[in-house]
A and B are shown apart, each in its own frame.
Chain A
Amino acid sequence: MTTAAKLPSTESSVRSRSFDTGFDVERIRGDFPILARDIRGKKLVYLDNAATSQKPRVVLDAVSRYYEQENANIHRGVHFLSELATSEHDRARQSVKSFINAADAREIIFVRGTTEAINLVAQTYGRANVGAGDEVLVTAMEHHSNIVPWQLLCEEKGAKLRVAPINDAGELILDDFAKLLTSRTKLVAVAHVSNALGTVNPISEIIQLAHQKNIPVLVDGAQAVPHMKVDVQALDADFYTLSSHKMFGPMGIGVLYGKAQLLEAMPPYQGGGDMISSVTFEKTTYNKLPFKFEAGTPDVAGAIGFGAAIEYLNAIGIENIAKYEHELLTYGTEKLGSIEGVRLIGTAKERAGVISFVIEGVHPHDVGTILDQEGIAIRTGHHCAQPIMDRFGIPATARASFAFYNTKEEVDALANGIQKVREVFA
């Protein structure tokens, strides 16, 4: 897909090429079947992308083509379909590898999603390397899935979970973070982008600070990868996790990236088929990477759909996406921020994909119901990040989260919906 050259400023070209970025959002919207549907007689305005993204036709087609034409179990058949399914599965792994610029496809472990990826690291690397009196360091803006696996580990090992604080804008206080890196710290686990606030963390600096003390870093990249170019080698991340369904691929599949030398040294996670080289009742030898961590028949269709999503993103260009979304987020922040009675929660200088807000005198749950009547889908609640809500002294927020298929007009619809909320509660 190429971005169209700028046309003379007719009314239609102005409408379809928002913000003069040359980004043909109307054409892109046509790739997503669900965006054409109505909700309660109104046009769907889907602003819950941080929960899950919609899927383009190419992803849906890849999944059904697999089941219609290619379905077979991988790695063990000598027949045509098994070889085909295996090579398609491998190709998806290569796509992920290139997308995040991993050094080697062996470092790409397919899992169910970011949650499983983090649990995998906690239960293997964590159990092997974190002991009594040791510490795991997270930040105050983590999703529950980057808190609870470490709490379970710390409880088991008699270790301590430490939390680096954030400021009133929702930014990590880097000096305090640095002070919490001690000889007891065995691992840092940090979100690249906060799902509740949209804050983009200075991951490069975080990793450098940790590495100065030889502490490895796991980056929860679930909310970053759909919005920006991520290069795990340039970042020097030790582990990086992502979920397909948040980046326009199918649900139920994601990736743990890990540096090969770390993965090699880790004990396996689950036992079963595919993760072994040979099994006797006396001794089992484990398979090589990445298969050592992929016990059982994997979600082959999911991987293939995920690969198709990545190819789709590559065709549009993640840099083009980032540029367009930046314009959209800036527009939305100004628009919503200027509505009387609206308070933005999370005003970090660097943000991606998310506007979290509260409306004076109105509970977010009521905001969500009223917007839903307008066909506008947002998320309300604590966004699986209760400690953030406690930090800001609120029970919940309303969260609008964006993807590159969202438009300026949808931001306007959201702003009008918020006015309607204020009218109901006037």
Chain B
Amino acid sequence: MPDLRDLYQEVILEHSKAPRNFHALAQANQKAEGFNPLCGDHFTVYMTTAGDSIQDIAFQGSGCAISKASASMMTQAVKGKSKAEAKELFDTFHKLVTTGESNGDREDLGKLAVFSGVSEFPVRVKCATLAWHTLQAALEGKQEKVSTE
């Protein structure tokens, strides 16, 4: 039986209450909006990129604890990374939250490993990945809003 504490880890609760990089980015040259129509979660991800590098990243919006903490920790994890590295990290993260496994890449995930409990709560996977899908859309320069549906 899944344990609530696996899902609502201290780090996650802490980030949901005090999200990092939680603001607009005036100089952003890439941004995207993502929403989950089922629960109304809605985030905008802003990025300043130079060449292949994500120099700065921030987000705004509202959502549940899982989606907000995930967005917050994502911004910390991808800041300073290359676009390709960010995409790779999303793949690893996605595998983690859907299967609980990470192919021995857990070290790459760093703090993001706290989201492994999400895999026990399948309906919450969309919460954990909303910001990441939005990031991906921003990287690909998509204009339309990203929906989890």
Q: Which residues of A contact B (CB under 8 A)?
A: 40-41, 361-366, 369-370, 373, 380-382, 386, 389, 395-396, 424-425
Contact = CB atoms under 8 A, between A and B. Distances in A.
B17 A396 contact: no
Contact of B39 (A40, A362, A364, A425): A364
Nearest to B2: A373
B4 A395 contact: no
Nearest to A363: B64
Contacts of A41: 1
Contact of B66 (A366, A381, A396): A366
8 contacts: A364-B39, A365-B41, A365-B63, A365-B66, A373-B4, A381-B40, A382-B40, A424-B13
Contacts of A370: 4, 8
Nearest to B8: A424
A346 B88 CA distance: 46
Interface of B: 1-2, 4, 7-8, 13, 17, 38-42, 62-66, 68, 121, 123-124, 127
Contacts of A362: 65
Name, among B41, B63, B64, the residue most crowded by chain A CB atoms within 10 Å (CB to CB): B64
Contacts, number: 53
Given A396-B39, A425-B8, 19 more contacts: A40-B1, A363-B62, A363-B64, A363-B65, A363-B68, A364-B39, A365-B39, A365-B66, A365-B124, A369-B124, A370-B4, A370-B8, A373-B4, A381-B38, A389-B40, A395-B42, A395-B62, A396-B40, A424-B8
B121 A381 contact: no
B7 A369 contact: yes
Contact of A395 (B1, B40, B127): B40
Contacts of A424: 4, 8, 13
B14 to A, nearest CB: 11
Contacts of B38: 381
Main secondary structure of the interface of A (DSSP, over half): mixed
B13 A425 contact: yes
A363 B63 contact: yes
Name, among A361, A365, A381, the residue most crowded by chain B CB atoms within 10 Å (CB to CB): A365
A231 B58 CA distance: 57
B1 A366 contact: no
A369 B2 CA distance: 11
Contacts of A364: 39, 64
Nearest to A396: B40
A386 B123 CA distance: 21
Contacts of B123: 369
Contacts of B1: 40-41
Nearest to B5: A424
Contacts of B40: 381-382, 386, 389, 395-396
Contacts of A381: 38-40
A351 B25 CA distance: 45
Contacts of A373: 2, 4
Nearest to B63: A363
A395 B62 CA distance: 8
Contacts of B68: 363
Nearest to A424: B8
A78 to B, nearest CB: 49
A388 to B, nearest CB: 12
